[in-house]
Structure 1
Amino acid sequence: MRAEIVAVAVPAAVILAIGLWGLDRGGMWGDESVTFLVGRRTVPQIWQLLHGLDAVHGLYYLFMHVVLAVHPGEVVLRLPSVFGAAVTAGLVAALGVRLVRPRVGLWAGLLYAITPLTGHYAQEGRSYALVAAGVAAATLLLVRAVEGRSRRVWWWYGGVLAVTCLLHELVVLVLCAHALTLVLMRVRRGVWLGWARAAGVVGVVLLPLVWVSQEQSGQVGWLVTPGWDQAGLLVRDFAVGPDGLVFWVSVALMALGLGAGRLAAVALPLLVLPPALLIAVSQIRPLFHERYVLYALAGAPLLAAAGADWVAGVVGRLRLGGRRVPARPHSRLRPSGGTPIALRNDCPHDDRQWSGRRLPYGRLGTLTGVLAVALAFVQCLPLYRQDRSPAHRPENLGAVAARAARDIRPGDPVLFLPSNWRLTALTYPKAFRRARDIALRESGPRSGTLSGIETTPAELRRKLAGVDRVWVVGQSRLLSSGLLPADPTERVKLAVVEEQFIARERYVSGRVTFLLYVRRPAVSVSAAVAASSAVVSSSSRDRS
Structure 2
Amino acid sequence: MGGTKTGLTAQMTARLTARLTGRLTGRAGAVAVLAPAAVMLGLGLWGLDRGTMWRDEGATFQVARRSVPEIVRMLGTVDVVHGLYYLLMHAVLAVRADEQTLRLPSVAAAACTAALVGALGCRLARPRVGLWAGLLYAATPFVSHYAQEGRSYALVAAGAALATWLLVRAVEHGGRAWWWTGYGAVVAVTALLHEFAVLLLAAHGLTLLVSRVSWRVLRGWLCAAVAACAVLAPLVLLSRRQSEQVSWIRTPRYEQAKALLYAFAGPRDLVLVGVLLLSAVAVLAPLPRTGPLRLNAVALPLALVPPVLLYAASQEQPLFLDRYLLFCLAGVPLLAAAGAERLLEPLARRRAVTAAGALAVAAAFVWQLPLQERERLPGSRGDEPARVAAAVGRLARPGDAVLFLPHYERRTALFYPRDFTGLYDLTLKRSAAASGTLFGEDVDAAELRARLARLSARDRVWVVWDTNTVGTPWFRGQRAESAKTGALDELYRERSTTYVRGGAVSLYVRR
Q: Taking structure 1 as the reference length, what is the TM-score of the superposition? A: 0.85
Amino acid at match of 1:23: L
Residue 222 of structure 2 is aligned to residue 222 of structure 1: no
Amino acid at match of 1:420: Y
Residue in structure 1 matched with residue 418 of structure 2 by the alignment: 430
Measure the CA separation in 1 of the matches of 2:130 and 2:506: 53
**How far off its partner does 1:393 sit?**
1.2
Measure the CA separation in 1 of the matches of 2:437 and 2:331: 39
Measure the CA separation in 2 of the matches of 1:179 and 1:482: 45
Q: Secondary structure at the match of 1:124?
A: coil
Residue in structure 2 matched with residue 44 of structure 1 by the alignment: 69
Measure the CA separation in 2 of the matches of 1:508 and 1:101: 55
Identity %: 52
Residue 413 of structure 2 is aligned to residue 381 of structure 1: no
Corresponding residue to 2:406 among 411, 418, 421: 418
Q: Is the contact made by 1:419 and 1:451 (CA closer than 8 Å) also made in structure 2?
A: yes
Measure the CA separation in 1 of the matches of 2:440 and 2:476: 18
Measure the CA separation in 2 of the matches of 1:19 and 1:484: 37
**How far off its partner does 1:463 sit?**
1.3
Corresponding residue to 2:387 among 386, 394, 399: 399
Residue in structure 2 matched with residue 68 of structure 1 by the alignment: 93
Measure the CA separation in 2 of the matches of 1:371 and 1:156: 36
Residue 169 of structure 2 is aligned to residue 178 of structure 1: no
Measure the CA separation in 2 of the matches of 1:299 and 1:101: 16
In the TM superposition, what whole-angstrom CA distance separates every residue of 1:340-398 from its partner, at most 9, and x where no partner exists?
xxxxxxxxxxx4xxxxxxx3x1x110000011111111111100111110111121111
Amino acid at match of 1:276: V
In the TM superposition, what whole-angstrom CA distance separates every residue of 1:499-537 from its partner, at most 9, and x where no partner exists?
5433333233443332222334xxxxxxxxxxxxxxxxx
Q: Secondary structure at the match of 2:319?
A: coil
Residue in structure 2 matched with residue 101 of structure 1 by the alignment: 126
Q: Is the contact made by 1:8 and 1:91 (CA closer than 8 Å) also made in structure 2?
A: yes
In the TM superposition, what whole-angstrom CA distance separates every residue of 1:250-307 from its partner, at most 9, and x where no partner exists?
1101111113351111001110111111111111111010000001110100000000
In terms of mean alpha carbon deviation, does 93-102 or 183-192 score higher?
183-192
Corresponding residue to 2:446 among 458, 461, 476: 458
**How far off its partner does 1:488 sit?**
4.5
Distance 1:41 1:247, change over 3 A: same
Distance 1:509 1:193, change over 3 A: farther
Amino acid at match of 1:243: R
In terms of mean alpha carbon deviation, does 262-271 or 446-455 score higher?
446-455
Q: Map 1:271-290 to 2 at 5 A.
A: 271-290=303-322
Larger Rg: 1
Provide the aligned C-alpha RMSD in A: 1.5
Amino acid at match of 2:411: L
Number of matched pairs:
475
Q: Is the contact made by 2:57 and 2:151 (CA closer than 8 Å) also made in structure 1?
A: yes
**How far off its partner does 1:457 sit?**
1.9
Amino acid at match of 2:308: A
Residue 261 of structure 2 is aligned to residue 235 of structure 1: yes
In the TM superposition, what whole-angstrom CA distance separates every residue of 1:197-255 from its partner, at most 9, and x where no partner exists?
0011111100000000000001101111110011011101101x312322211110111
Q: Is the contact made by 1:414 and 1:437 (CA closer than 8 Å) also made in structure 2?
A: yes
Residue in structure 2 matched with residue 146 of structure 1 by the alignment: 171
Distance 1:185 1:482, change over 3 A: closer
Residue 215 of structure 2 is aligned to residue 192 of structure 1: no
Distance 1:195 1:482, change over 3 A: closer
Residue 231 of structure 2 is aligned to residue 205 of structure 1: yes
Residue 299 of structure 2 is aligned to residue 267 of structure 1: yes
Q: Is the contact made by 1:408 and 1:434 (CA closer than 8 Å) also made in structure 2?
A: no
Residue in structure 1 matched with residue 471 of structure 2 by the alignment: 480
**How far off its partner does 1:487 sit?**
5.2
Amino acid at match of 2:421: R
Residue 1 of structure 2 is aligned to residue 10 of structure 1: no
Corresponding residue to 1:255 among 273, 280, 297: 280
Q: Secondary structure at the match of 1:394?
A: coil
**How far off its partner does 1:88 sit?**
0.4
Measure the CA separation in 2 of the matches of 1:114 and 1:229: 24
Measure the CA separation in 1 of the matches of 2:496 and 2:116: 51
Measure the CA separation in 1 of the matches of 2:479 and 2:374: 40
Structure 1 unaligned segments of length 5 or more: list them: 317-350, 352-358, 521-544
Measure the CA separation in 2 of the matches of 1:480 and 1:25: 29
Q: Secondary structure at the match of 1:472?
A: strand
Residue in structure 2 matched with residue 368 of structure 1 by the alignment: 356
In the TM superposition, what whole-angstrom CA distance separates every residue of 1:296-329 from its partner, at most 9, and x where no partner exists?
1101000000001011104x2xxxxxxxxxxxxx
Residue in structure 2 matched with residue 111 of structure 1 by the alignment: 136
In the TM superposition, what whole-angstrom CA distance separates every residue of 1:28-48 from its partner, at most 9, and x where no partner exists?
110001000111111111110
Measure the CA separation in 2 of the matches of 1:293 and 1:207: 20
